[in-house]
Structure 1
């Protein structure tokens, strides 16, 4: 949606602040319903949820393409336009980043146990590649078909094409096809993969393990989104140009992809706690780099810290909840975590803006985030974690 921001400002006659607030409120509102969507996943399965959310996402993209027309039909006031855009952003965030992302991840996790970490790492490479090329691809569509035509193309592709593909190719789990995870022969019970005992969302919320992982993942979402949103201003505060600011994403992406693949190749054989601790450590180191961005070493420490931290975030977020709380209620448990992370990502940019207004700099916001990361790191070290490793019958 960021590629369309300037177009929305011009066509809808809204200020940049109004468009940003519509996106913020829509995102926060979407986070409040993700736990319910997770329960729908447990009830209806990945095939129906992925196809349904893809169709709904396509519909909401089409709504965005017609906000100006709908607004004129309803009177054309700024309040009406703002409300329509807010509703459309809510739908895109809820059905897209929320439901479709969570369901696509969860359905894959059920098909693998012993190789779950490796498969999740390979998936993350494709996700990262998609995020990397999306702005360029959307800009090409806008150039070729105009902004409204680009939105129609996107909406119809995901709403019809991808939804149909999901119905044809996706199956909820191996059992629905008389198979077992990892391609194990169903008659070979000795080689059957072992899962953690399943716990309900209420049971998970009473566990400190759930909160240390959810808050750590949410902290990454808050800090990372705030940095991306304000990247030019943050780098400018340290005397660096916009070119340098945008150039930061390339080395960070390299660090992220490499660390994700390396960690994914090991995580199936080891406990998840060291990966969580390492993630919080490198994010803290990255925060130190951000605080010292005026130095050359600060730039590279930031890129390495946030890059490696992002790669480890992918590993931890994929595996934490199914490892500790089992597959039966995975949708509800991971959905509640998703609501926390989406909410954190929504308030991150606003929190950094408030820090500038009341504390005088983005540096102050980074220092507060560093303190929060160190507190989470201490908690992660102290909280005892017992989990069932893939393919093993005992907890460790």
Structure 2
């Protein structure tokens, strides 16, 4: 599997990975993991910590800021399928480095966007437009391109242990995402929200240089065999399904089950994360409890991710998808009863366990069912829909709060959607993994 990337940056620059004393897939694993963590400025949990500061700096209401987030995120989702095509043509190495660089620049823009708006007279429309551009940039480059490229670049380096390897990555990502709000809140408290953004931008730019040096697109372009095998010890022969095109994938029920299931999590979890302080306050809980909520979720998510990732290497994904949706439904019931201690437990356990299974599904469903050749474009469409769903979530909860004085109406709507998807998941058949590697 080759692409145009080698004509731009040789796979042997700045060193030949065949000379490494270990299988280079593990270096790809490290870069892939860090790449997803570096996308935090474009993730909801990264932007959510700045919400109240943006409201003050831009002079917008919570609903107006949520609408800006909606417009910016929806706009970014429209370009992610095309970004997936870029990935298929240019490879993960260039896409990760380029998206990380541009993400850093967009974070710099957000840090000064309120000043730019003030120079143009300020006002609601100008401020709204300024922050919308920023949200568009970080969502497209962070949650969209950088996350997807970092995830995909690892999948082609492992086959037999793909589930276990991606779950190990998910362990670090889960903990990183869990502590990110606490770390960002500490950075803001000690240096200010603007300075925190500058520091995040520097991290993005530094990682871009590292990715360009260390990442490689796939084993074949480097002259090595997948999973660390050698010519004397070739990988076992498996039955491969021919890679499907995007048009072919879109005609299958399994594509839509995986995509809608992943997107439902994006909608619901993003809404909860974006309004986390307000939702917990409505339930009579403090801001400290709101940010601390991410830690038990990460613990449960990590455990389920490792266990289910290991199991998924030799099993069909259907039971994992069904369990994922059922777990989100349990978490949703807990959210409705957040004022009670048992509701908090259900919320953390349901979203945590479901989040671990979300990682397994997002990593394995598409490459297993549709092959690697058009993986960027296929996952690009899925990511586009997920990002679109993540844009709807915060606005849906905000409008529900304005209309009904509570988040309960939006939560009940999410429960209804989860019930429908859970019923759909029982009807979709999937082939066993040995037939679709």
- Hey, what does 2:38 align to over in structure 1? none
- Hey, what does 2:85 align to over in structure 1? 39
CA contact (8 A) 1:196 1:322 kept: no
Q: Tell me the secondary structure at the aligned position of residue 66 of structure 1.
A: helix
How far does the alpha carbon of each residue in 1:73-94 deviate from its partner, in whole angstroms, 9 at most, with x for none? 4444543332222111111111
TM-score by length of 2: 0.82
- 2:415 aligned with 1:341: no
CA shift, 1:260, in A, is: 1.0
Deviates more, 1:166-175 or 1:243-252: 243-252
Q: Tell me the secondary structure at the aligned position of residue 191 of structure 1.
A: coil
- 2:344 aligned with 1:299: yes
Change in Cα spacing, 1:362 to 1:140, as seen in structure 2 (3 Å) is closer
How far does the alpha carbon of each residue in 1:39-60 deviate from its partner, in whole angstroms, 9 at most, with x for none? 1000100011011101111111
TM-score by length of 1: 0.90
How far does the alpha carbon of each residue in 1:5-64 deviate from its partner, in whole angstroms, 9 at most, with x for none? 333333333344333322221111111111111110001000110111011111111111
- Hey, what does 2:181 align to over in structure 1? 135
- 2:102 aligned with 1:102: no
Count of residues in correspondence between the two structures: 391
Deviates more, 1:116-125 or 1:8-17: 8-17
Note the 1:182-261 alignment, pairs <5 A: 182-186=227-231, 188=233, 191-192=236-237, 195-238=240-283, 240=285, 244-261=289-306
CA contact (8 A) 1:219 1:344 kept: yes
Note the 1:1-396 alignment, pairs <5 A: 1-142=47-188, 145-159=191-205, 161-186=206-231, 188=233, 191-192=236-237, 195-238=240-283, 240=285, 244-358=289-403, 361-387=406-432, 389=433, 392=434, 394=435
Question: C-alpha distance in 1, partners of 2:308/2:123?
Answer: 52
Give the RMSD, CA atoms, in angstroms.
Answer: 2.4
CA shift, 1:395, in A, is: 5.4
Deviates more, 1:254-263 or 1:354-363: 354-363
Question: C-alpha distance in 1, partners of 2:410/2:387?
Answer: 19
CA contact (8 A) 1:113 1:194 kept: no
Question: C-alpha distance in 1, partners of 2:220/2:121?
Answer: 54
Structure 2 spans left out of the alignment, 5+ residues: 1-46
Deviates more, 1:374-383 or 1:150-159: 150-159
CA contact (8 A) 2:188 2:196 kept: yes
CA shift, 1:321, in A, is: 0.6
Question: C-alpha distance in 2, partners of 1:59/1:239?
Answer: 39
